[in-house]
Structure 1
């Protein structure tokens, strides 16, 4: 059992619900996010619901790369070793390229890939030292194919995250350190609550339950929930561009 789990971006959305579900399964948790007040409220909630579970929190801006390494190391020491690290923190800003919002696209690229790289580096440093551990990188079904307009940069970052996971999987094949890429479909969260008419969206609790199941199975790559996102990912991957444009 991967007893001690670190989750980044745990103050809301998918990270917050993952914390609830892993705590219910008896895992000790290290939770990080920028909003420390939200983390403290979640810590109190989990302590009341699961008194036998240890929950520690840290404020962390994943774009502060030096701080990422410091916080991961300190949480590893505090819990007596991290067994699984879930790199979940991310944002969904964006605009069509060339429309004057490079700032939004740059922030998404920095948070969703460069900061993910820093977190993966910090996690692998800990796991290589003990030759054990499970690194989980949260990508997205949006990363299966290039997407237009406001989602172009977001989709590109999520594709990069999945590729990063795959590169580590090739390197670590047959070794004790495991790496998973989790590609959620449209699951309700603060990230997408402002998007109207999101097709095939799944409620947060069952959507995250599918994520947790895939993570615990340590799947190399999982589109979740499996229905409808396994077949939809295949359609997205191979649809000709004119059909893809009509679909999205």
Structure 2
């Protein structure tokens, strides 16, 4: 990535920034000199992170935004506040998500509804806010954090989660298709498919010794892979590339009977 493009994406909005992948990416972008608008429900953690990042990187600006992404009106209000605080947003990372769920038919519609609302409907609001801003500026980079689980239908408690992440990926593809119809060269859309990366969301699975977590990498390693893909502004990427790129090929093309045993 050229220095010119890096400068173009100077101001970065990140949701779900108080922990996990959002916090990890924020730390790396701060080290690289980016200004940040950090959004999450836990304002105290955001403010502590802001103070730490500014102390370590005194040339950057960091604004904090208390936000439950399921409050859709608030998504637009806080995104507007972030554009005012930083003088515009150059890159928006749609990262906030929820990992709970239950087998369809188990009677836990409430858990699946919450996951669907947070991972898809709230993401739709974030995309709408960001893309309206980018179209107005004729520049911007929308980043959608999907999941390897979103490549195929998943069984049991992962069914709804996987469906929302697949929906998020298709949302990104649809926005890219729209940009082909009405080209704006300065706007890019990236969809990321993280594999198993240690975070608050999956720590219970790790403690339980779920089979797939044998492939889990630590948060910093995972976030470095995410940031590298984001900075390249790729269209799509499995992250980390090894072993998830070949696993992704298998997941996309293998029979469902094989895929279900990979979980």
The TM-score, its normalising length taken from structure 2, stands at 0.92
Aligned to 1:244: 259
Q: CA deviation at 1:236?
A: 1.1
1:181 to 191, 194, 204: 191
What's 2:10 paired with?
3
Q: Deviations over 1:28-69 (max 9, x none)?
A: 000000001110110111011111111110100100000100
The unaligned stretches of length 5 or more in structure 1 are none
**Whole-angstrom CA distance in 2 between matches of 1:178 and 1:231:** 25
Q: Quote the offset at 1:172 in angstroms.
A: 1.1
Instruction: Choose 196-205 or 134-143, whichever is displaced more.
Output: 196-205
TM-score calculated relative to the size of structure 1: 0.98
Q: Offset of 1:247 from its aligned partner?
A: 2.5
Report the secondary structure of 2:55's partner residue.
helix
Q: Secondary structure at the match of 2:88?
A: coil
SS at match of 1:199: helix
2-structure distance, mates of 1:240, 1:12: 36
Matching residue of 1:215: 230
Q: Give structure 2 stretches of 5+ with no counterpart.
A: 1-5
Matched, 1:100 2:107: yes
Partner secondary structure for residue 202 of structure 1: coil
Q: Deviations over 1:86-139 (max 9, x none)?
A: 010001010101111110000000000000000000001111111111111110
RMSD: 0.9
Q: Which portions of structure 1, spanning 4 or more consecutive aligned residues, are displaced by more than 6 angstroms? A: none
1:56 match: secondary structure: strand
- 1:61 aligned residue: 68
- The whole-number CA distance in structure 1 between the counterparts of 2:220 and 2:124 is 28
Q: 2:34 and 2:121 mapped to 1: Cα distance?
A: 28
Q: How many residues align?
A: 248
Q: Does 1:132 align with 2:147?
A: no
Describe the SS at the equivalent of 2:99.
coil
Q: Kindly provide the CA deviation profile for residues 60-81 of structure 1, in whole angstroms up to 9, marking residues without a partner as x.
A: 0100000100110111011011
Query: Could you list the per-position Cα deviations for residues 140-188 of structure 1 after superposition, in whole angstroms to 9, with x for gaps in the alignment?
Result: 1110111000000000000000000011111113522111101111100
Partner of 2:3: none
Higher relative helix content:
2
In the TM superposition, what are the counterparts of 1:95-244 in structure 2 within 5 Å? 95-173=102-180, 174-175=183-184, 176-195=186-205, 196-197=208-209, 198-244=213-259
- Among candidates 90, 94, 98, match of residue 87 of structure 1: 94
1:245 Cα deviation (Å)? Answer: 2.7
Task: Give the structure 2 partner of residue 41 of structure 1.
Answer: 48
